[in-house]
Amino acid sequence: MSSEPPLNILIVEDEVLLAVELQFIVREVGCRDVGLAMSSDEAVELASQLTPDLALVDVHLQDGPTGVDAARRIACDCGAVVLFMTANVLRLPEDFAGACGVVGKPYSEHGVKLALSYLETCLRQGQAPGPPPIGLHLSPAYQRRWGADYAMTA
C-alpha cells in the first residue's frame, strides 16, 4: 500500500451507468473520485474547483460532442491530466487535445484498472514503468514526456 495520497479523479461521462461503473473502478484501484460531470461546462467548472490529478473524459456528452473542447480546457486551464474514455476514438484530434491518451469503449473493468494503475505510476514517477497496457493508447506528446516512445517488441 502506498503512503502517497490517492489520486483525485474527475469523471466526465453522461451515461449514468458507465459513470457509476467508473466511480467503482476508480475506488477499487485506490484512487478517489472527486466529482462527476455530464456536460463540458460542468466538467471545466468542476475541474477548476476540485483540481483533480486526472480527468476521465468521454467525447460525446449531454451537450453534444464537446468532450474534446472540455479536455483541452481541463488540461490547459486546470492543469489536470486528461484520459479520454470514448467510443469516438476517431474524433480525437492529432494532438489528442492535450490529453495523455485514450481508452476505447467498450472497455473492460480489468483494462481500466490496468490503465489507471499505469497512469498513476507515470504521474507519480514522471516516467512510464514500461509499455502501456493493452487498451491504453498514449498520445505522442505523453509518450515522449514519460519516456514511453519505444518500439513495441513482439
**Which domain range does residue 91 map to?**
8-145
Report pLDDT digits (tens) over 1-40.
457 899 999 999 999 999 999 999 999 999 999 999 999 9
Which CATH number fits the domain that encloses residue 70?
Answer: 3.40.50.2300
Residue 153 lies in a domain: no
Residue 114 lies in a domain: yes
* pLDDT for position 16: 95
Residue 107 lies in a domain: yes
Report pLDDT digits (tens) over 61-89.
999 899 999 999 999 999 999 999 999 89
150 — pLDDT class (breaks 50, 70, 90): low
The predicted model scores a pTM of 0.93
**pLDDT at residue 130 tops 80:** yes
109 CB-near residues (< 8 Å, 6+ apart): 21, 25
Residue 151 lies in a domain: no
Q: How many separate domains does the chain show?
A: 1
